[in-house]
Amino acid sequence: MPRALVTGITGQDGQYLAELLHQKGYEVFGLVKGQNNPRTVLLQEEFPFVEVVGGDLADLSSLVAALESTQPDEVYNLGAISFVALSFRQPELTANVTGLGVLRMLEAIRMVGGADNNPIRFYQASSSEMFGKVRMTPQNEETPFYPRSPYGVAKVFGHDITVNYRDSYGLFACSGILFNHEGPRRGLEFVTRKITNAVARIKLGLQQELALGSLEPQRDWGFAGDYVQAMWLMLQHDEPQDFVVATGQTHSVREFVELAFRAAGIDDWARYVRQDERFMRPAEVDLLVGDAGKARRLLGWAPTMAFPELVETMVSHDIELEQRKERNRRR
Ligand code: NDP
Ligand code: GDP
């Protein structure tokens, strides 16, 4: 039975990846931080097959201990301060966890190593935010980085140190440069889920308006369930390499809003949306669109869910969720 250690197991991607690895017959270990992390209980209820291991990307010795106790074949480093807006408010924490955390995990892997004939394979969750103020469109593995936030800068460090450890020590280390990916498990702080949840609540008469920052930025939004497949495929490839994972289509926040309201049967969406300075960023990433040709050619990866279906899935999930919460509240 192959063994995988996943950091960020309580996050969106951690949950999809845990399911995928379990289906593939892996023993799944999830690194959880904190002394009484409330998300552990939810994790254990929904994914009882995950074995929880304590540890923190800010603490090297805890990573060494996690590797020693779990002896994984594969490590997926998904843990991060992952919200761009938070990274502007807590840049040092972001650099420490999202950036240096990668170095700590690579050092821990170098120390613990894995069996001689079966070295640990490492996946780093890199991000299209590294492209920032884009130098080329669409963006691929050769596009130079120009990050626009402390999060993007920390991810560039994580990416470069992953490549450096592969070159320097021959580690089987891959960096997946994933474009935005969403789904019903996305955190409510991210714009897609914030929109679909607000649309559901407006539809049910539980909320009057939706306050947003800029509606103009464009993103290449895919479905998270498809993207964790690409992570796994990278670690099964003969050679460790870096891959862009994207749909190749881009849409504005405005288009997402329109489609989400329409999916709930509301056409006059503009009357519910208010622009709010608080959600603007000191520096914006205006346009992201990825070219995943390399992943398609070498890994046989392709996205399965198109943009309209993604929006509709998230809206109908949130309508059901909010209805259920209302029913429970009234009981
Ligand atoms: P989430 O924000 O949903 O999850 C982040 C995870 O990191 C949580 O499990 C969180 O734990 C954990 N974490 C935070 N701080 C630490 C720490 N100090 N030590 C250990 N774990 C920590 O992110 P996603 O699932 O959406 O993304 C997964 C990864 O992929 C992240 O690295 C993200 O930056 C990257 N990425 C995501 C993209 C996307 O569109 N979703 C696009 C490109 C890259 P807790 O719950 O306890 O806070
Ligand atoms: P990001 O691409 O990792 O920053 O993912 P987000 O979902 O946080 O943001 C996507 C885009 O939506 C960014 O360009 C944001 O500036 C924009 N946006 C506009 N309004 C909001 C908002 O209210 N919340 C968030 N999170 N993003 C917003």
| Residue 37, token pair as written in the block | 């992390």
Query: How many angstroms separate the Cα of 224 from the Cα of each of 104, 171, 264, 314?
Result: 26, 27, 22, 12
Q: How do 114-115 and 27-32 pair as beta strands?
A: unpaired
| Contact 190 CB / ligand 2 (< 6 Å) | yes
User: What pLDDT score was predicted for residue 262?
Assistant: 98
User: What pLDDT score was predicted for residue 142?
Assistant: 98
Please state which of the ranges 31-35, 76-80, 111-115, 170-174 shows the lowest mean pLDDT. Answer: 111-115
CA 130 to chain centre: 14
Note whether 151 and 200 are same-domain residues: no
Note whether 172 and 275 are same-domain residues: no
Instruction: Kindly report, residue by residue over 205-245, the tens digit of the pLDDT.
Output: 999 999 999 999 999 999 999 999 999 999 999 999 999 99
Q: What rounded mean pLDDT belongs to the chain?
A: 97
Note whether 235 and 146 are same-domain residues: yes
Residue 275 pLDDT greater than 90, yes or no: yes
- 270: CA distance to ligand 1 center in Å? 32
Q: How far apart are CA 9 and CA 169, in angstroms?
A: 27
User: Which residues carry out catalysis?
Assistant: 127, 129, 151
Longest dimension (CA), the chain: 63
Which residue's CA lies nearest to atom 35 of ligand 1?
125
Its domain, for residue 76, covers: 3-182+221-245
Note whether 140 and 266 are same-domain residues: no
Q: How far apart are CA 274 and CA 299, in angstroms?
A: 43
Which residue's CA lies nearest to atom 15 of ligand 1?
80
Which residue's CA lies nearest to atom 1 of ligand 2?
84
User: What pLDDT score was predicted for residue 278?
Assistant: 97
Q: Judge whether 298 lies within some domain.
A: no
Note whether 25 and 161 are same-domain residues: yes
Note whether 237 and 262 are same-domain residues: no
Mention every residue, 6+ apart, whose C-beta is less than 8 A from residue 312. 259, 263
Which residue's CA lies nearest to atom 29 of ligand 1?
78
Note whether 162 and 201 are same-domain residues: no
- 191: CA distance to ligand 2 center in Å? 5
Mention every residue, 6+ apart, whose C-beta is less than 8 A from residue 86. 94, 151, 189
| Contact 180 CB / ligand 1 (< 6 Å) | yes
User: What pLDDT score was predicted for residue 113?
Assistant: 84
What integer is the mean pLDDT of 256-283? 97
| Residue 162, token pair as written in the block | 């992953």
Q: Judge whether 313 lies within some domain.
A: yes
Instruction: Kindly report, residue by residue over 74-108, the tens digit of the pLDDT.
Output: 999 999 999 999 999 999 999 999 999 999 999 99
Query: For the chain, give me the number of helices (H) and strands (E)?
Result: 12, 15
Note whether 93 and 211 are same-domain residues: no
- 128: CA distance to ligand 1 center in Å? 15
User: How many CB atoms neighbour CB 301 within 10 A?
Assistant: 20
Under 8 Å between Cβ of 13 and 227? yes
Please state which of the ranges 102-116, 147-161, 180-194, 293-307 shows the lowest mean pLDDT. Answer: 102-116
Note whether 69 and 172 are same-domain residues: yes
Q: How far apart are CA 223 and CA 96, in angstroms?
A: 28
pTM > 0.75: yes or no:
yes
The closest-lying atom of ligand 1 relative to the alpha carbon of residue 126 is: 44
- As for how many domains the chain has, the answer is 2
Which residue's CA lies nearest to atom 28 of ligand 1?
78
Note whether 141 and 268 are same-domain residues: no
| Contact 53 CB / ligand 1 (< 6 Å) | no
CA 246 to chain centre: 13
| Contact 77 CB / ligand 1 (< 6 Å) | no
User: What pLDDT score was predicted for residue 285?
Assistant: 98
Tallying the residues shown for the chain, one arrives at: 331
User: What pLDDT score was predicted for residue 118?
Assistant: 77
User: What pLDDT score was predicted for residue 30?
Assistant: 98
- Kindly indicate the confidence band of residue 173, based on its pLDDT and cuts at 50, 70 and 90: very high
What integer is the mean pLDDT of 156-184? 98
The closest-lying atom of ligand 2 relative to the alpha carbon of residue 253 is: 12
Q: Which residues pair with 172 in a beta bridge?
A: 121
- Kindly indicate the confidence band of residue 115, based on its pLDDT and cuts at 50, 70 and 90: low
- 167: CA distance to ligand 1 center in Å? 26
Pocket test of ligand 2: the residue of 82, 84, 181, 274 to mutate, having most ligand atoms within 8 Å of its CB, is 84
